Structure 1
Amino acid sequence: MAAFLVAGLALGGCASTDKDDVVVPDEPAEKIYNEGLTLLRKNDPQAAAKRFEDIDRLHPYSEWARKALLMNTFANYEAGNYDDAISSGKRYLAMHPGSQDAAYAQYLVASALYENIPDITRDQRKTQQALDALQDVVNRYPDSEYAATARRKIEVARDQLAGKEMMIGRYYLKQNNFTGAINRFKTVVTKYQTTRQTEEALMRLTEAYMALGVVNEAQTSAAVLGYNYPDSTWYKQAHKLVQSRGLEPQENKSSWISRAFSGGRS
């Protein structure tokens, strides 16, 4: 980043004398940019974002405008203005897709979307948007310094989506809508298998299949649960549920549940 330029730069004759005018029409872009950096160092990202916006208005075709647009994205992110950060970051990517800072811009957009993830009881479209944007960071810039952090955030977003499926599935179970519940738990097992929700999903599948009288699938889900998570409290519950019918967990390798876990085991 450029060093801060101290006061003393001459301003042209069209400078405003109105105290309410923050922007001087012919104020040099570099001066404005460095004032923005100084405000960031003073932990005032809100004011910094405004200064970077000034460059975009006054010097829209300069190299400073490109730099300022990225810094505006960062400043808005730091200020918690996530929608503004998303907007300016996407604009940067549209205008400068080949820039060496494109990876950082994509990461800032994804991180701002991530910060907008709603409570699990609400619609999760924003969570999916965050997940998609984070995956773009990993896919497009796998060797960048941002990819590792993006992967960690991806796991959190995936767990959130899986948690939403579990919440709906549990509701269906209580309503005795066992087919609807199975479909939700199946999504967790097949699409979000690496999340922490999978153990409970397998137990709930055991519960739902037992309620429907589809005993072989219930035995399979319990067996797969025990194989992959032998110390899980969810496995203890599934095992107990199967035993209550005089049965034991037993894997049917032709079951979709078995195939979902590496195609079954020999």
Structure 2
Amino acid sequence: MNKFIYILLVILSISSCSPYQKAMKSDDVEFKTKVFTEQIEKKKYSKAIRLFEQFASALRAKPQGEAAFYSYAQALYNTKQYISAAYEFERFSSSYPKSPLAEEAAFYGAECYSKVSPIYSLDQVDTDKALSKIQVFVNKYPNSTYLPKANEIVKVMSEKLELKAFEIAKQYNTIGEFTRDYNAAIIALDNFVFNFPGSKYKEDALFYKYDAMYKLATNSIPSKKQERLNSAKTYYQNLVKFKADTKYLQQSNKMLETVEKELKQYTN
């Protein structure tokens, strides 16, 4: 036991005298910067961050500040502190606009917001922000080597917003079973198709729009039934015109049979 305690004390003594511990206690900015750089090189980012935050303000006007602040932003990025990293990257690119790292910093600053973009079902504030920041980057650096990555981020973020918009529109049709407000579903699905004309969910949206009108028509009051049945028939035609072999064809044809059967009462 005594031997173990002795070894432990030796380890603690060595640790307390390490360059990092000395730098944490030192007021020497040059020494702190040197140790900070060493921690970055060793990929000990959390330690580097703690140390840098002690003397960051003292580096603002110093020549070594440029490299140090960029390394600090990268350390935050590598420890997945994306909002803080975004702030530091953006501040770097504005503080050092002539730096060869300014463009890279601007890209990473924008990319950080895509890293915190949540799944489509949650609030998409950060997704919108990511798209906005990427657009600012592309406008500023239209020939950037980061353009392919920027375009990929735009694609992923846009698809997420598209899916969210579709699911919201589709949900109106789902809850129509309980609220009987199929008009809200039709409007929501109409808006979706208008806002995302090339969407991969267009077939689904056209079917659910037809489905909503079908339910509205077949459950309608007599004075509005004929008009709504005809609208349902038009929505069916829009669906099969868009995709003749739609995956909803069998179900849609069965619904159409009901629509045409009920329309016959108005032909006399």
- State the TM-score, normalized to the length of structure 1: 0.69
Q: Secondary structure at the match of 1:119?
A: coil
More helix by share: 2
Alpha-carbon separation, structure 1, partners of 2:203 and 2:46: 44
Larger radius of gyration: 2
- Deviations along 1:136-186, one digit per CA (max 9) or x if unpaired, are 233322221211111111111111111211222222112223333344434
The partner residue of 1:223 within 215, 219, 241 is 241
1:132: how far off?
Answer: 1.4
Alpha-carbon separation, structure 2, partners of 1:172 and 1:111: 33
Residue in 2 that maps onto 1:113: 113
State the superposition RMSD in angstroms: 3.0
- Deviations along 1:21-47, one digit per CA (max 9) or x if unpaired, are 60532332xx65554443334332222
Alpha-carbon separation, structure 1, partners of 2:208 and 2:98: 48
Residue in 1 that maps onto 2:50: 50
Residue in 2 that maps onto 1:201: 205
| 1:156-195 alignment, distance < 5 Å | 156-176=156-176, 177-194=181-198
Q: Secondary structure at the match of 1:150?
A: helix
Residue in 1 that maps onto 2:8: none
The partner residue of 1:244 within 205, 230, 255 is 255
Identity value in percent: 20
Query: Which one-letter code corresponds to 1:206 in the other structure?
Result: Y
- Deviations along 1:89-108, one digit per CA (max 9) or x if unpaired, are 23223433454433222221
CA contact (8 A) 2:24 2:32 kept: no
Consecutive unaligned residues of structure 2, counting only runs of 5 or more, are: 1-20, 217-227, 259-268
Query: Which one-letter code corresponds to 2:58 in the other structure?
Result: L
Alpha-carbon separation, structure 1, partners of 2:25 and 2:206: 61
- Deviations along 1:79-132, one digit per CA (max 9) or x if unpaired, are 011121122123223433454433222221222211111232321112111121
Paired residues in the alignment total 220
Alpha-carbon separation, structure 1, partners of 2:142 and 2:101: 14
Alpha-carbon separation, structure 1, partners of 2:154 and 2:145: 15
Q: Secondary structure at the match of 2:64?
A: helix
* More displaced 10-residue stretch of structure 1: 119-128 or 212-221: 212-221
* More displaced 10-residue stretch of structure 1: 210-219 or 109-118: 210-219
Query: Which one-letter code corresponds to 2:92 in the other structure?
Result: Y
Alpha-carbon separation, structure 2, partners of 1:99 and 1:238: 59
Consecutive unaligned residues of structure 1, counting only runs of 5 or more, are: 1-18, 248-266
